[in-house]
């Protein structure tokens, strides 16, 4: 019997969450300028930047409130045993706040567009190197100040599958809040 050795070095979805946070932090200002220019033309107040970014639930301390959650990961059974070909979904749920539902609806859709623009513009295509290059990040779960992404070339596709608006009740908040949820599909092949 030989010594144990890993069949693969795959990292799966965990690094993608930090890459998403880092990309939002890096590209938000430029994307927000585009969104707010359109809002100004409509006579609407500018959106505030997303500064509350979390990897789980917690008491809301400010609006907008963004949380990221890893969904399911499915594997290609026909792939070689040393290669993990998989699809992962990550959900981004952004709550815009508890106020006039007309305004909340407008804000939610503009925040969805903001996040979609950041994710869809990351790349550059077709190499998708933004998803596999260390990026600066400010988050309490990343003490080093930089992401540790999946291996170069491992991310083969990133696709925003949906924007789902919903009015929800959250603990500690009396009035319903407007939430917009984006589902992002990542396709990876890791060895």
Write the burial class of residue 172 (CB in 10 Å: 0-12 exposed, 13-18 middle, 19+ buried): exposed
Provide CB contacts within 8 A for 41, sequence distance 6+. none
CA 129 to chain CA centroid, nearest Å = 16
Asked whether residue 165 carries a pLDDT value surpassing 70, the answer given is: yes
Max Cα-Cα span within the chain: 73
Asked whether residue 64 carries a pLDDT value surpassing 70, the answer given is: yes
Order of all β-strands in the sheet with 177-190: 52-54, 65-75, 84-97, 177-190, 155-168
Instruction: Provide, rounded to the nearest whole percent, the portion of the chain with pLDDT above 70.
Output: 97
Extract the tokens encoding 67.
């949380």
- Do 149 and 132 meet the contact criterion of CB atoms below 8 Å apart? yes
Instruction: Report how far residue 104's alpha carbon sits from residue 94's, in angstroms, rounded to the nearest whole number.
Output: 11
Q: How confident is the model at residue 99 (pLDDT cuts 50, 70, 90)?
A: low
Instruction: Report how far residue 90's alpha carbon sits from residue 14's, in angstroms, rounded to the nearest whole number.
Output: 10
Q: What is the pLDDT of residue 168?
A: 86
Is the pTM higher than 0.85?
Answer: yes
What's phi and psi for 6, nearest 5 deg?
A: -70, 145
Q: What is the pLDDT of residue 1?
A: 66
Q: What is the pLDDT of residue 60?
A: 80
| pLDDT tens-digit readout, 142-159 | 989 999 999 999 999 999
> By mean pLDDT, which of 49-53, 57-61, 81-85, 141-145 is the weakest?
57-61
Q: What is the pLDDT of residue 126?
A: 83
């Amino acid at each position: 019997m030989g010594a144990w050795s890993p069949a693969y070095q795959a990292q799966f979805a965990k690094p993608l969450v930090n890459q998403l946070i880092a990309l939002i932090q890096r590209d938000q200002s430029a994307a927000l300028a585009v969104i707010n220019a359109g809002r100004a033309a409509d006579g609407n107040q500018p959106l505030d930047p997303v500064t509350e970014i979390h990897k789980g639930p917690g008491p809301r301390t400010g609006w907008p409130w963004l949380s990221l959650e890893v969904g399911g990961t499915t594997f290609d059974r026909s792939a070689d045993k040393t290669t993990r070909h998989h699809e992962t979904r990550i959900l981004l749920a952004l709550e815009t706040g508890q106020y006039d539902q007309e305004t909340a609806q407008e804000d939610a859709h503009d925040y969805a567009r903001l996040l979609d623009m950041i994710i869809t513009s990351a790349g550059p295509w077709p190499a998708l190197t933004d998803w596999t290059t260390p990026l600066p990040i400010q988050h309490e779960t990343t003490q080093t100040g930089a992401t540790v992404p999946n291996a170069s070339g491992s991310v083969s596709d990133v696709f925003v599958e949906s924007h789902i608006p919903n009015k929800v009740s959250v603990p500690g908040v009396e009035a319903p809040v407007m939430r917009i949820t984006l589902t992002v599909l990542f396709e990876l092949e890791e060895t």
